[in-house]
Amino acid sequence: MIPVSWYLLLSAALFSLGICGFLIRRNLITIFMSIELMLNGVNLSFVTFAHQWHLVKGQIFVFFVMVVAAAEAAVGLAIIISIFRARGTLAVDRIDLMKL
């Protein structure tokens, strides 16, 4: 049987990749995908612990996260499209109207 730590390591690796992508990449869609990656890394930890302790709460939580992620994707993509229409670019360092 595969040890729990392996799952957790994979989960941490996915989350860290998400953070790195979130901070480094410029394209708004890539950033968005990085956020999804972080969410899924967290989901993996939830499932791992739920399996480990034989509790269903973790599984339920994963479903909640998925629902929120789906809603967020819908809203987020809509925002991204309208930004693209308005500004003609998705590079985050160009989207800086709030800058003083």
- List contacts with another protein (CB under 8 A): 19, 22-23, 26, 31, 92-93, 95-100
Q: Nearer Cβ to another protein, position 12 or 60?
A: 12
Q: To the nearest whole angstrom, how small is the minimum distance from the Cβ of residue 25 to another protein?
A: 9
3-state secondary structure at position 95: coil
Nearer to another protein, 54 or 99 (CB): 99
Q: Which is nearer to another protein, 51 or 87 (CB)?
A: 87
Name residues whose C-beta falls within 8 Å of residue 45's C-beta, 6 or more positions apart in sequence. Answer: 7, 8, 11
Least distance from C-beta 92 to another protein, angstroms? Answer: 4
User: Tokens 């967020």 identify what position?
Assistant: 72
Provide the terminal-to-terminal Cα distance of the chain, rounded to the nearest Å.
56
What is the distance of C-alpha 54 from the center of its chain? 26
* Least gap, CB of 73 to another protein (angstroms): 18
